[in-house]
Amino acid sequence: MAAVSGLVSGLLKRRFHWTAPAALQVTVRDAINQGMDEELERDEKVFLLGEEVAQYDGAYKVSRGLWKKYGDKRIIDTPISEMGFAGIAVGAAMAGLRPICEFMTFNFSMQAIDQVINSAAKTYYMSGGLQPVPIVFRGPNGASAGVAAQHSQCFAAWYGHCPGLKVVSPWNSEDAKGLIKSAIRDNNPVVVLENELMYGVPFEFPPEAQSKDFLIPIGKAKIERQGTHITVVSHSRPVGHCLEAAAVLSKEGVECEVINMRTIRPMDMETIEASVMKTNHLVTVEGGWPQFGVGAEICARIMEGPAFNFLDAPAVRVTGADVPMPYAKILEDNSIPQVKDIIFAIKKTLNI
């Protein structure tokens, strides 16, 4: 009897010593792909259109496999006609479908920006609440590598400026999947600013992100790293640089709280303010130009809110250089925020 109970208790004890399953690594590209695939499957009205999205599998392979699975009706290759196909997408949304309109990069969205702002963003308001426009505009935004001035602009500030739009900016895979799914399910025009350089980067996918109903709420920032000495706020690829800077500074005893905005509009000021009220210092980091940028807006709002009185130093911005993006590598490298620039700004703010 004792032997049996010993065996049983041994077995019971053994249950608490199992090893965790190997972490699932998913690239940002695959995360977006999964998100779109799940939403296409879930709702018949969702469809994707844009240049090369179907037979080419996507200019950056983000829509790989979708045309094969869903066919011509749901995955539509368009001619090179941004203004035309963006307008077509908005019209389809007005008539009750749920289009995902891909811009090969957001630089080309400038050709269609009238449709995004005047036809999509403003319509629900102008119609007194009669005509919703459930559309997603997505594509890579901001600097890439060596693509020069006309292909490197960041549009976060431009789109973030406009009431009626929602604007999200995912950093990692979890962000990418959760935000694209929320964007597709949202009944409003949502601009999803992806990043080409992040597409191939793998991240650990937490179990909840593997669910078909995994959504990240639009309008909520995430604290990626807790800290006490300074708040560092960023969006998109620079979030990674901020975490690198934080790791370096941690060795010197400076603990940075790194906030991943996730959403540009509506901006989650509460999370930023609560953090600043705790750390008393603020640095914003973005890839876009400084004038009228995301950081400028954050600083203005900090001044207006309760967190101002908690600042021990002026808020500081780290941004892209105020130039059209140059081509030569040394020039390009110095035109976007580097880890050393972030560290320098943090130390300046902390006066160390």
Is 171 within 8 Å of 194 (Cβ atoms)?
no
Q: Which residue has the tokens 């930023």?
A: 272
Nearest distance from residue 277's CB to other proteins, in Å? 18
Q: Among 268, 327, 262, 338, which residue's Cα sits nearest to residue 298?
A: 268
Cα–Cα distance list, 109 to 82, 167, 211, 235, 243 (Å):
7, 14, 32, 20, 30
Query: Nearer Cβ to other proteins, position 120 or 345?
Result: 120
User: Active-site residues: which are they?
Assistant: 82, 151
Q: How near is the Cβ of 42 to other proteins at its closest, in Å? A: 17
- Least distance from C-beta 163 to other proteins, angstroms? 6
269 vs 339 by CB, closer to other proteins: 269
Kindly tell me which of 49 and 282 has the beta carbon lying closer to other proteins.
49
Applying CB under 8 A, the residues found at the interface with other proteins are 47, 73, 76, 78-79, 81, 83-97, 114-115, 118-119, 123-132, 134, 163-164, 166, 186-188, 266, 304
CB of 122 to other proteins, least distance (A): 9
Burial of 15 (0-12, 13-18, 19+ CB in 10 A): exposed
* CA distances (Å), origin 259, targets 158, 334, 339: 22, 24, 16
Query: With contact defined as beta carbons under 8 Å apart, do 174 and 31 qualify?
Result: yes
Closer residue to other proteins, CB minimum distance, 217 or 324: 217
- Residue 43 makes CB contacts below 8 A (sequence gap 6+) with 98, 184
